[in-house]
Chain A
Amino acid sequence: AQSVTQLDSHVSVSEGTPVLLRCNYSSSYSPSLFWYVQHPNKGLQLLLKYTSAATLVKGINGFEAEFKKSETSFHLTKPSAHMSDAAEYFCVATSGTYKYIFGTGTRLKVLA
């Protein structure tokens, strides 16, 4: 069965330092992979999407993610955190049907 694991439930970084949010997936086929962000009291906003065109995917707000098939990982990074990046981040995989499989989420805290 497909599954998505986000290895950290909470990550704290200082403003201006790099961000790394980790995600591993398990799938019997090659899924599409996504990162969504949820700010407090807001909906889920698409950050970026991997299909198969390129292993390094650039998203909005300076985020990017690298797909590594050998490691079944899709980690999200950003070179320099901003206060406005504080939010919950979800790694998502398609399931082979239309439904999404969500990770448990990583809450990013950015310290001044």
Chain B
Amino acid sequence: EPEVTQTPSHQVTQMGQEVILRCVPISNHLYFYWYRQILGQKVEFLVSFYNNEISEKSEIFDDQFSVERPDGSNFTLKIRSTKLEDSAMYFCATSGVGTDTQYFGPGTRLTVL
């Protein structure tokens, strides 16, 4: 069964460093999303992406965040200058055309020290 994959599974970084989280979507999916879950809190929407553009973003998704699909397969989330409060589990999700069902990857646990 096709699945969404994410790398790395765990990333540890120093405050102020840049990180890139990667996601490989299900092959025929065209809608991509990032969510995050701070430990003990609910899963929060960050951004949705379609046709090489951001469709929607939350207020969490400020100028420190960016997304792109650089090679037509990987979908990446970049945090330019990480803060302690960026420590969270980051989930990538994808969906196909004509459906609102999203399929989630296993997540990347980001720890900012």
Contact = CB atoms under 8 A, between A and B. Distances in A.
Interface residues of B, number: 25
Nearest to A103: B42
Given A98-B56, A102-B43, A49 B106 contact: no
B44 interface: yes
Interface of A: 32, 34, 36, 41-46, 49, 90, 94, 97-105
Interface string B75-113: 000000000000000010101000011111111000000
A98 B107 contact: no
Nearest to B105: A43
A99 B33 contact: yes
A102 B72 CA distance: 29
Interface in B38-76: 41-45, 48, 50, 55-56, 58
B102 A100 contact: yes
Contacts of B35: 100, 102
B104 A43 contact: yes
A44 B104 contact: yes
A99 B56 contact: yes
A45 B107 CA distance: 12
A102 B101 contact: no
Nearest to B55: A98
Given A44-B91, A104-B42, A98 B104 contact: no
A98 B100 contact: yes
B56 A46 contact: no
In the A-B complex, the 3 residue pairs with the closest CB atoms: A43-B106, A44-B104, A99-B45
Contacts of A104: 41-42
Contacts of B33: 98-100
Contact of A49 (B41, B50, B101): B101
A49 B93 CA distance: 16
Contacts of A101: 45
